[in-house]
Amino acid sequence: MQLLLQSSLVEHYGASWKKVRIRSPEKVVEEIARTRSFGPLQVVGFRESIFVYDARWLRVFGELYRREIGLPYYCHLRADMMTEEMVDLLAWSGCHTVNVGIETANERLANEVLHRQIKQARLVAGIRMLKAAGIVVFADNILGIPGGTLEDDYATLQLNIDLDVDYAAATLCTPYPGTGIAKYAIEHGHFHGDFDLIDDSYYTESVLTFPDAKTKRMTENLHKWFAVTAALPQLFPLVKKLIELPPNDFFYAVFRSWYLVCHMTDVMPRRPDLAQLKESLLSVFGVYRGLDPNWHSPPRPEWLPTVDANTLATAERALTDVRMLVRREREGAVLDAGVHPAMEVR
């Protein structure tokens, strides 16, 4: 298992950190059941990078999960680690969607630049098994990888088409500080090293250096068309022409629109309420409720604590009395003693 872990992770956390920590299926199911007791639950999401390592754990988890929870769930995993037994168990236990990383079709880039330590043939076989089991596949891809070309990105798109993934998510390669890719990009002249220029979104533009402005523009535009072209491959020849155009509002709208439609209908077995649906739809048209990702809907007025005027007045009187009592006691301690305690010592 250690071989699968990226060397950059080991660099970050040191060689002594525990590589894999797995919670028992009983604990996991118990926590979900407790969470469900707080309110309605439609779908369960497991956000750890690799949800399942071995079939034995998954079998026990599946039995418990089916019996106690019985809701669809989604998880992240490495498709190259999948065996037929594991895929069967995933589907049987209620797995609706898996998030897998394809990243790039170029095995050299995957292993030498991204350090994925992966065999492309096993990745492809794993995704085919997941698809054959009827599990929705959400694939992550990276465009504009240092050392790669536009042809590599086309090949990645073609691989997503061939594998018939349900949503082909793409991001623009971004050299975040402290990552192996940043080190590689700086060392090989693909990045100037000014991390302050990195945008807060990896969906907009790339900060990496490209051979020319046209290639950069085409890569960024391809990113906007990537997912929808994977879903509708007939677009591919047209997209190759379209991405030569300057970036524009239509391209961004295409990206957002397909993301919304695909997630609402295929990827997430969760039905949004009307307010969420309206908000999502408006955002495709550039209308936002705000930029703060930590902002959440306010609680309903009836949930807010309310105090009637009489209770409040009583509480305030009681508080004032306590404050006066404390003040008198402090003053009295000095007056009763007659002299300051420090004077007595002397």
Q: Are 46 and 74 in contact (CB under 8 A)?
A: yes
Out of 34, 40, 306, 345, the residue judged to bind another protein by CB under 8 A: 306
Among 228, 239, 242, 243, binds another protein (CB under 8 A): 228
Answer yes or no whether residue 246 interacts with another protein by CB under 8 A.
Answer: no
Q: Are 38 and 3 in contact (CB under 8 A)?
A: no
CB atoms closer than 10 angstroms to residue 288: 9
Between 183 and 236, CB nearer to another protein: 236
Residue number with CB closer to another protein (61 or 184): 61
Interaction of residue 131 with another protein, rule CB under 8 A: yes
In terms of DSSP bridges, do strands 95-103 and 167-172 run parallel, antiparallel, or are they unpaired?
A: unpaired
CB of 264 to another protein, least distance (A): 7
- Integer Cα distance of 81 and 199 in angstroms: 33
Residue with the two structure tokens 């054959």: 132
Residue 97 within binding range of another protein, rule CB under 8 A: yes
Mind spelling out the 3-state secondary structure of 133-175? CCCEEEEEEEECCCCCCHHHHHHHHHHHHHHCCCEEEEEECCC
Size of the site for another protein (CB under 8 A): 75
Residues 6+ apart with CB under 8 A from 316: none
- Number of C-beta neighbours around residue 191 at 10 A: 24
| Residue 115 backbone class (left: φ over 0; alpha: ψ -120 to 50; beta: rest) | left
Note whether 310 binds another protein by CB under 8 A. no
Query: Does position 283 bind another protein by CB under 8 A?
Result: yes
Q: Check residue 50 for interaction with another protein (CB under 8 A).
A: no
Check if the beta carbon of residue 168 is closer than 8 Å to that of residue 141.
yes
Q: Are 161 and 122 in contact (CB under 8 A)?
A: no
**Closest separation between CB of residue 291 and another protein, Å?**
6
Q: Which residue in 245, 287, 326, 334 binds another protein (CB under 8 A)?
A: 287
- d(Cα 302, Cα 207) in Å, to the nearest integer? 48
DSSP 8-state class, residue 297: P
Determine if 265 is a binding residue for another protein (CB under 8 A). yes
Regarding 16 and contact with another protein (CB under 8 A), the answer is: no
Decide: is 252 part of the binding site for another protein (CB under 8 A).
yes
Taking residues 55 to 94 in sequence order and writing x for each that binds another protein by CB under 8 A, - otherwise, the string is: -------------------x------------xx--xx--
Q: List the one residue from 24, 201, 209, 215 that touches another protein (CB under 8 A).
A: 201
Pick from 121, 245, 282, 318: which binds another protein (CB under 8 A)?
A: 282
3, 274, 307, 343: which one contacts another protein (CB under 8 A)?
Answer: 307
198 binds another protein (CB under 8 A): no
CB-based contact 173:203 (threshold 8 Å): no
Alpha carbon 46 to its chain centroid, in Å, reads: 10
Owner of token pair 């060392």: 187
270 in contact with another protein (CB under 8 A): yes
Q: Which residues on neighbouring strands pair with residue 140, listed in sequence order? A: 101, 169
Instruction: Compare residues 15 and 303 and give the one whose CB is closer to another protein.
Output: 303
Site for another protein in 137-196 (CB under 8 A): 138, 164, 166, 169
38 binds another protein per the rule CB under 8 A: no
Do 212 and 194 form a contact (C-beta atoms < 8 A)?
no
Tell me whether residue 63 or residue 279 sits nearer to another protein (CB atom). 279
Span interacting with another protein, options 30-38, 149-157, 281-289, 330-338, rule CB under 8 A: 281-289
Strand partners, 97: 74, 136
Residue 2 or 306 having the CB closest to another protein: 306
Span of 21-29, 33-41, 60-68, 303-311 interacting with another protein by CB under 8 A: 303-311
- Determine, following the binding rule CB under 8 A, whether residue 33 of this chain makes contact with another protein: no
